[in-house]
Every structure is written in structure tokens, then in C-alpha cells.
């Protein structure tokens, strides 16, 4: 699977459910939410849904980009994120990543892409200020049968997707 997934095409007409299935097929290394405790699984699946809706991959660049996109365009504010981040399950995830790749790799990867991410995020921040309509975060199920293009249009996300 060397081609880019369809959900990453900003004009994709596949449903969110189809995009999510494709996301898991293209990213077998991603933790399956079904294998996690239910409270953490719900957060993990919402994060994965965000990857599909925002057209992001799982590289460090997009992982750093997706959090501010959530904070600025969805019901997952920075405060919500901080509360979720204090979950023991989230700590396990970070600990596992550091154990697998090493702290030097993790922080080196972040520092390597952070300047470019910041340059991309600055204009996005200006475009997303004072949003009235926020994308659902944990309660995304009503969107599953809708097309990605329709969701992106309704929540004014197209200008934020490359």
C-alpha cells in the first residue's frame, strides 16, 4: 500500500466509517481501540477519527499538527486534552512509545519537525479563531455515515487541509 489513502484527499467523498477502516488498514501499527479499556478506547478512537477527518497521517509532523486542530476546531479544547492526558492509559501509551523507540528518538523527532509545524499552524490559528460550530470529539458516531467532504464543508475544515 504505497499510495496515499483516499481519506487524506481533502475532497474525499468516502464516508467517515470507510475512511476509518482505510486508516486502520494503512496503519497496522496503530493501537486498536478495541484492545483497550473502554474509557481510553473512546479517546483513542476519537483521535483516530480526527486523523481521518483532518486528513492527517501518523507521522510526527501530523501528530503534532492534529492536537491544535482538535483544540481550535472541535469540542476537544486544550482543557479537555489536559484532563484526558492525565489518564493512566495515556501514560502507558507514552511510556510504551519511549520504551519502543527511546526518549532521544521521540524528542529528536519532535524537535526536527516542530519549526515547520509551527509555521503551518500560525495561519490556521488565525483562521480558526472565534469558531461557532465545533466538530464533535467523543460523540462522533452520528458522522460515521456522512461523507468526509460533507463533514469538512459543514465544519469549515477544507481551508485547513492540504
> How does DSSP assign 101-117, residue by residue?
H-HHHHHHHHHHHHHHH
For residue 109, give every residue at least 6 positions away whose Cβ sits within 8 Å of its Cβ, in sequence order, or none: 60
For 116-157, the three-class secondary structure string (H helix, E strand, C coil) is HHHHHHHHHHHHHCCCCCCECCCCCHHHCCCEHHHHHHHCCC
Q: What is the pLDDT of residue 3?
A: 83
Q: Say what the pLDDT of residue 1 is.
A: 47
The pLDDT assigned to 41 comes to 87
d(CA 54, CA 36): 24
For 124, the grid coordinates are: 490556521
Nearest to 30 by CA among 88, 113, 97: 97
Task: Compute the CA torsion angle 106, 110, 113, 115 (nearest 10 deg).
Answer: -160
Please give the model's pTM, rounded to 2 decimal places: 0.89
What are the residue boundaries of the structural domains of the chain, listed by start? 6-160
pLDDT tens, per residue, the chain with 162 residues: 458 899 999 999 999 999 999 999 999 988 888 988 888 889 889 999 999 999 999 999 999 999 999 999 999 988 888 887 776 666 666 776 788 788 898 889 999 999 999 999 999 999 999 898 999 999 999 999 999 999 999 999 999 998
- Return the pLDDT at 101: 81
Amino acid at each position: 500500500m504505497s499510495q496515499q489513502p483516499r481519506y487524506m484527499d481533502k475532497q474525499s467523498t468516502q464516508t467517515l466509517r470507510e475512511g476509518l477502516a482505510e486508516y486502520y488498514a494503512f496503519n497496522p501499527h496503530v493501537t486498536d481501540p478495541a484492545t483497550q479499556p473502554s474509557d481510553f478506547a473512546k479517546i483513542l478512537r476519537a483521535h483516530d477519527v480526527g486523523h481521518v477527518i483532518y486528513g492527517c497521517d501518523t507521522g510526527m509532523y501530523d501528530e503534532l499538527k492534529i492536537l491544535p486542530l482538535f483544540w481550535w476546531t472541535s469540542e476537544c479544547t486544550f482543557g479537555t486534552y489536559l484532563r484526558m492526558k492525565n489518564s493512566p492509559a495515556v501514560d502507558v501509551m507514552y511510556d510504551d512509545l519511549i520504551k519502543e523507540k527511546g526518549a532521544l528518538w521521540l524528542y529528536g523527532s519532535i524537535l526536527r519537525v516542530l519549526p515547520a509545524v509551527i509555521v503551518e499552524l500560525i495561519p490556521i490559528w488565525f483562521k480558526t479563531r472565534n469558531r461557532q460550530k465545533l466538530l464533535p470529539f467523543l460523540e462522533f458516531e452520528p458522522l460515521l455515515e456522512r461523507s468526509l467532504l460533507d463533514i469538512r464543508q459543514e465544519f469549515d475544515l477544507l481551508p485547513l487541509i492540504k
